Amino acid sequence: MKLMKWAAALAVLAGISGFAQAGDEPFKAAWIYVGPVSDHGYSFQHDQGRKAAEAAFGNKLQTTFVESVPEGADVERVLNKLVKDGNKLIFSTSFGFMNPTLKVAKANPDVKFEHATGYKRADNVSTYSARFYEARAVLGTIAGKMTKSGVVGYVASIPIPEVVSGINAFTIALRKVRPDAVVKVIYVNSWYDPGKEAAAAKALIDQGADVIAQHTDSPAPVQTAEERGVWCFGQSSDMTRFGPKHHLSGVIENWNEYTIAEVKAAMDGSWKSHDTWGGLASGMVQLAPFNPAMPKDVADAANKVRDDIIAGKLNPFAGPIKGQDGKELLPAGKSFSDAEILGMNFYVEGVQGNLPK
């Protein structure tokens, strides 16, 4: 009997407190990351976006995040939990989260989802990504001028179109500056595995590479390059401190403005499903600060390529472009469409090795 009274009192209390909060409840948004925020790379930058939104909206916004969610069965479970927790806008920040995100979105039409680097949309699922390949074109220009051996090593993660288009844009720009240069690619089959990335970088350097680029999320390749005295480019965030003498530049993603805009739209009800693919011009992709050791003519060339891309004067995928076998894929005057870039599954001339299917 006493227990019943207790339970009843508690229920009433809960009801009252629920009532009291109903008026000024903050908007709840959540983020899931494929790696740890502390990767100081890809997931870190997404979390910067979340923090920017928190700073912009103060206590009108309540954010949660779940890090290190492996791309697989766990994603659905985590998303369902976040939906149950009352989140109304969820940022799904990795390509491999695509199908679970769509599935959960279908079951919960009142919750909005933002899928990063994906290509499938729904009424309540938007996609967003950055034109990383534009930054890669600038890096390729720098590599072309800095390489002596003509061999550039590329530590890649998984052979998806985003990675392949980056390799291709890099190679095209590289060979504009140094027509005989080649790019060797090693896939470590993971976005984040410092040990394998370091081993891959070592293997590439042992095979003659004197510039190392990466499309993986840890600073291990930069560290390895610095230790071996080889130039390198970082990925996702400024990795200068891991290679102060040899880190030339890198690709940095900036999701802050986009995140704030999407949260605002979700909060005031104007949210619509759309696709955003911002490049250097929109600021979603940026370049890490150039190393002071970079000669002025190289920095000038790089800046020119960057400015031309922003102004629309230079398209990293403008023809003529030849395939690996030397046959022309794209004649002069044409360029690859967005759809073709998003589905890119072949290498251009200058990339050594076979693309794993």
Partner 1 sequence: MDETTAILVSMILAATPLLFAALGELVTEKSGVLNLGVEGMMLAGAVTGFAVAASGYSPLLAILAAALAGAAMSAIFALLTLLLLANQVATGLALTMFGIGLSALLGKPFVGIPLEKLPALPLPGLSQIPVLGPLLFQHDAMVYLAFALTLAVHLVLTRTRAGLVIRAVGENHDAAHALGYPVRLIRFGCILFGGALAGLGGAYLSLAYTPMWAQGLTAGRGWIALALVVFATWKPWRVLAGALLFGGFTMAQLHAQGLGIAVPPEFLAMLPYLATVVVLVAISRDATRIRLNAPACIGKLFHPDD
List interacting residues with partner 1 (CB under 8 A): 36, 38-40, 68, 153, 159, 184-189, 192-200, 202-204, 206-207, 218-220, 223-224, 227, 241-242, 352-354, 356
In the complex, minimum distance from the CB of residue 243 to partner 1, in angstroms, rounded to a whole number: 8
Nearer to partner 1, 27 or 187 (CB): 187
Q: How far apart are CA 42 and CA 214, in angstroms?
A: 12
φ/ψ bin of 229: left (φ > 0), alpha (ψ from -120 to 50), beta (otherwise): left
In the complex, minimum distance from the CB of residue 117 to partner 1, in angstroms, rounded to a whole number: 20
In the complex, minimum distance from the CB of residue 201 to partner 1, in angstroms, rounded to a whole number: 9
Closest CA to 181 of 224, 204, 156, 211: 211
In the complex, minimum distance from the CB of residue 198 to partner 1, in angstroms, rounded to a whole number: 5
Nearer to partner 1, 68 or 273 (CB): 68
In the complex, minimum distance from the CB of residue 236 to partner 1, in angstroms, rounded to a whole number: 12
Q: How far apart are CA 290 and CA 286, in angstroms?
A: 12
Q: Own/partner pairs for 306-315, CB < 8 Å, 24+ apart?
A: 306/138, 306/280, 309/134, 309/137, 309/138, 309/279, 309/280, 309/281, 310/279, 310/280, 310/281, 312/281, 314/137
Nearer to partner 1, 139 or 188 (CB): 188
Nearer to partner 1, 138 or 212 (CB): 212
In the complex, minimum distance from the CB of residue 352 to partner 1, in angstroms, rounded to a whole number: 5
Nearer to partner 1, 276 or 324 (CB): 324
239, two tokens: 């990795």
Nearer to partner 1, 137 or 212 (CB): 212
**Secondary element (H or E) of residue 213:** strand 211-214
Would you give the DSSP letter of residue 36?
Answer: -
